[in-house]
Amino acid sequence: MSQTSRILNIELHDFWHVGTGEGRGSGDNSVVKLKNGLPYLPGRELKGILKVTAKCLESWGHITEGDTERLFGNDGKKPAKIQITGAELDKNDAEYLLGLNKYDPTRRALFDSISSTAINYESGNATNKSLRSMEIVIPCVLQAEITCETCEEKDSKTIFDFLERLLPLTRAIGASRNRGLGRCTMTFKTEE
């Protein structure tokens, strides 16, 4: 069995949020971070958003029915042909940031928060107890590795060709991606 992998570049053009589901001092929703405090995008989130894109193509008739399930698996019933690691900052960027004191303004500027509230349309005032805040990450470039375990080399080429068709259609990730957060461009890193 051969194993082939490619590096996926995720260029985030806007603030983005992939939450932990926990509130911490900075807001109702904290973002997922590595133990060292740097931004992190879980592989499960990446795989999920690519699977949603593939399902759309399949429902529109642009790819063969069943291709999505064959590639991404079926909720534990059928194993996936690809594995995706979590996405992190490029090694050089991470080393630079980790070399700074954790209170350095450059390092602290990686994260911010935004707030929103509901407005009562009759009075024009904020609705009581509706203020929400969300921790966000600044635009950056992250990298993940996609690994394909197949029986033959030509199968992995076909799988990566399929994934390459999905990447330009995957335009945003994370929470509020349909409301302006998380716009991104995904591409495979060219081999050097």
- The upper half-sphere exposure of residue 47, i.e. CA atoms within 13 Å in the direction of its Cβ, equals 20
Q: Over its length of 192 residues, how does the chain's per-residue pLDDT go in tens digits?
A: 455 889 999 999 999 888 876 655 444 578 888 999 899 999 999 999 999 999 998 898 888 888 888 888 887 777 888 899 999 999 999 999 999 988 889 988 999 888 888 888 888 888 888 788 888 899 999 999 999 876 555 566 788 888 988 899 989 888 877 777 889 999 998 765
**Domains of the chain with CATH codes:** 2-116+126-188 (3.30.70)
pLDDT at 26: 43
From the list 7, 82, 87, 90, the residue with the least C-alpha distance to 43 is 87
* pTM of the model as a whole: 0.83
pLDDT at 97: 92
Going 137 to 34 to 68 to 5, the CA torsion angle's sign is: positive
Q: 115 with 89: CB under 8 angstroms?
A: no
Q: 32 with 162: CB under 8 angstroms?
A: no
> CA 185, CA 20: separation in Å to the nearest integer?
23
